[in-house]
Structure 1
């Protein structure tokens, strides 16, 4: 005989099914709202002002290679060593007033002395003539790749300068002239080596600080860019109003 199911169990099962369906529908609606909110947040994030118009992390903007690792202090020992060597060179030339030619001669003397002693010890121990001792040669492919990279960078810089000088973009022209003027004033106050050392230290500190506090820096940079654009608009309006405009002598005929 078939077993009879009580009515109360049937009612409870129906109620549970309705509750599960309602909970599933509510969870699906919640997930939909979360997806919408997530999409809105992503859109808002993409519209946030970023310095230099970057859309990728700072490490990728700097190239994403070993140079980026050194600039962003991914390996503190290597970055600290590079900064330490640069500081030592600056101290030798600026503080101790060591001359470049003297330093080169002393370094070559030390290297030749060390190699001479090493060659004599190795020939005495192995009793070999040492004809193939320290054969050093520069591969041609590396030289060609370096020359091509330098030529491409130089040509790109010349094209940028040509575009700026042509007057197509007034903002870039004024910015370059202002930057060169400020750089000339700074160059008259410091020596070339000191200026190069300051730039080197800034290059190894500013990217790290920007990567750490990029949100705050981007907000301040956005405010500064707005003010700079206002100044450029007023300057462009003043200069364009002073340029005489002649009447066109030729008329268009249909």
Structure 2
């Protein structure tokens, strides 16, 4: 009887241990199943963005135009920009000449229209009063002022020498922009940027799941090359005077 009770106790203990290990393994498996979900949620996005492309561009009417949410308005904006570029760049039209010719055409049409109504015994058309509202101009000036102040603050921070990586990035960007500026005039450059803003974001939004992995690989490679450059070149630059002043 005693041996039977001991065997029953041992079998009971083995069942309890197996149950504990089973629950532990199940909890571990559950945690392991949850980890891939967490990793899947942290997907690399271009430039480290955490918001959709539409919200990155402001999420308003300007974003709708750039991402072709309203195809008529987007096509109209791109068509107007193309017409302006063709007039001033290909046909070598001048801004003052265009304004004068436009005013001549509008005034001539309105004058002939008002004179034609007198021959057919009708009252002349009442021309609308044109006045520029003050509030939109003040808002536009305020936005320009804020952007200029932010740009000045950014340039001041870069020039202070606190962030070497940002300094090199800005210098490289300005150097590339100066080379591009030597190839074409400001109007052509503005038109190229305008066309890129109306073509690259919608294409990226459509194929972002394919572009982001490639961008991640490229970013990793750039970081590796920068680490090599920093180790071989930047770390050999003397920094004694600035550090002594700070300490």
Q: Which of 38, 43, 46 lines up with 1:51 in the alignment?
A: 46
Hey, what does 2:211 align to over in structure 1?
217
Work out the number of aligned pairs and report it.
Answer: 215
Instruction: Name the structure where helix makes up a greater proportion of residues.
Output: 2
Matched residues in 2 for 1:84 and 1:171: separation? 40
Matched, 1:72 2:63: no
Out of 218, 230, 246, the position equivalent to 1:236 is 230
2:66–2:197: 8 Å Cα contact kept in structure 1? yes
Q: Which residue of 1 aligns with 2:198?
A: 204
1:103 maps to 98
- CA positional deviation for 1:72: 0.7
CA shift for structure 1 position 119: 4.5
Which residue of the partner structure matches residue 182 of structure 1? 176
Is the CA contact (8 Å cut-off) linking 1:59 and 1:69 kept in structure 2? yes
CA spacing shift, 1:53–1:115, aligned 2, 3 Å = farther
State the 1:240 CA deviation.
3.0
Please provide the CA RMSD for this pair: 3.0
Aligned to 2:107: 112
Query: What SS does structure 1 have at the residue aligned with 2:68?
Result: coil
1:138 aligned counterpart, secondary structure: coil
- Please list every run of 5 or more consecutive structure 2 residues that lacks an aligned counterpart in the other structure: 1-29
Could you tell me how far apart the structure 1 residues matched to 2:227 and 2:55 are? 33
> Is the aligned partner of 1:192 residue 2:186?
yes
Cα gap change, 1:44/1:91 in structure 2, threshold over 3 Å: closer, same or farther? Answer: same
Instruction: Normalising by structure 1, report the TM-score.
Output: 0.74
Partner of residue 60, structure 1: 55
Q: Structure 1: which 5+ residue stretches go unaligned?
A: 1-32
SS of 2:240's equivalent in the other structure is coil
Query: What are the Cα deviations for residues 60-91 of structure 1, in whole angstroms up to 9, with x where unaligned?
Result: 11111111111111111211111111112212
TM-score with structure 2 setting the length: 0.76
